Copies of this chain bind each other. A is one copy, B any other.
Amino acid sequence: MRMKQLASVLIFVGAGVCATQASAQFDGLYAPVAPPKSVNLGMVELGKKLYFDPRLSKSGFISCNSCHNLSMGGTDNIRTSIGDKWQQGPINSPTVLNSSLNLAQFWDGRAADLKEQAGGPIANPGEMAFSHTLAIDMLASIPAYVREFKLVFGKDKVDIDQVTDAIAEFEKTLVTPNSRFDQYLLGNKTAMTKDELAGYKLFNESGCVACHNGPNLGGNSFQKMGVVEAYKGNVEGRAAVTGKDADRFNYKVPTLRNVELTYPYFHDGNSDTLGEAVDVMGRLQLGKKFTKAENDQIVAFLKTLTGEQPVFRLPILPPSSDKTPRPTPFN
């Protein structure tokens, strides 16, 4: 239904009929970010602690929040992340904000959902460098954690499924409603300035919307990086998951929500600024060189996608007990 609607709109654009009109006919291709409809609050609170707990890493130094920092748009704002022993990660950390709206997780979509994603970095030797068994041993040695898991899950034993369920449940709360764009979509037509609306029009009519649509303005399809012109800096992409040659250089389209906060851009983090990213996308994906004025307007529009960041108290973690295995950062 959405794709059909999109196709007809794009044909309409192709005909050049609306070149000077407002682009309200595109509004239906997007949707405001909504608060999560159903969350288990006990699980959210437990998941929040786990998200901030560096004891889930071998070193005792790296937590989920290290690379998906909720003070910084859910990213680390570094080209590629820093893992255990300062290893350089292979790819840019995508934002955790609104990630529940994505069709899959990781740039190559190798995790079906947030729960599956959450277990990955803990056991990845280049990231947190721990193992699920060691993570559970750690948690099970801390009486306050054991009690909280029992309260939330009703079981006597902590297991990795509970851990990833809790982290995923917390991540479901990490949505950013009420951006100015969403206010506009919900009927406040004064929420965006003239330049921002012009940028929105360009965004739609140039074809950015073809991939960046839906509530997350992206995150709902895999697309080739470098359609019209090849991208220097491609890695295998989605082909690593599917094994299909056709999926080489295909990546999950990143969300543009809060894109003002999630620099640097692309899977390799090689574009430092939004202006540069818009320029690259225009040329490589659309075969279009935006003028400086057009680029500025699109960037102005993109900044209206910054929503209200999740607000919560910094969690206080339960202390290790005498039996808790100690972190080993230097061996």
Q: What is the interface size of chain A, counting residues whose CB is below 8 A from a CB of the partner? A: 44
Inter-chain CA distance A232–B119, complex, in Å, is 41
- B330 touching A263, Cβ below 8 Å: no
Is A61 part of the binding interface, using a Cβ–Cβ cutoff of 8 Å?
yes
Report which of B85, B319, B327 forms a contact with A86, defined as CB distance below 8 A. B85
A–B pairs, 26, beta carbons within 8 Å: A52-B71, A54-B72, A54-B76, A59-B78, A61-B66, A61-B78, A71-B315, A71-B317, A72-B317, A73-B319, A77-B327, A85-B86, A86-B86, A86-B329, A88-B330, A260-B319, A263-B319, A264-B326, A272-B322, A275-B322, A309-B316, A311-B313, A312-B313, A312-B314, A313-B314, A314-B314
For A263, list chain B residues within 8 Å (CB).
319-320
- A77 touching B60, Cβ below 8 Å: yes
Is A152 part of the binding interface, using a Cβ–Cβ cutoff of 8 Å?
no
Is A261 part of the binding interface, using a Cβ–Cβ cutoff of 8 Å?
yes
Residues of chain A at the chain B interface (Cβ within 8 Å): 52-55, 59-61, 66, 69-73, 76-79, 82, 85-86, 88, 260-261, 263-264, 272-275, 309, 311-317, 319-320, 322, 326-327, 329-330
Copies of this chain present in the complex amount to 2
Inter-chain CA distance A319–B76, complex, in Å, is 11
For A329, list chain B residues within 8 Å (CB).
78, 82, 86, 88
For A260, list chain B residues within 8 Å (CB).
319
Which B-chain residue is minimally distant from A59 (CB atoms)?
B82
What's the least CB distance linking A71 to chain B, in Å?
Answer: 5
Inter-chain CA distance A69–B49, complex, in Å, is 13
Which B-chain residue is minimally distant from A258 (CB atoms)?
B319
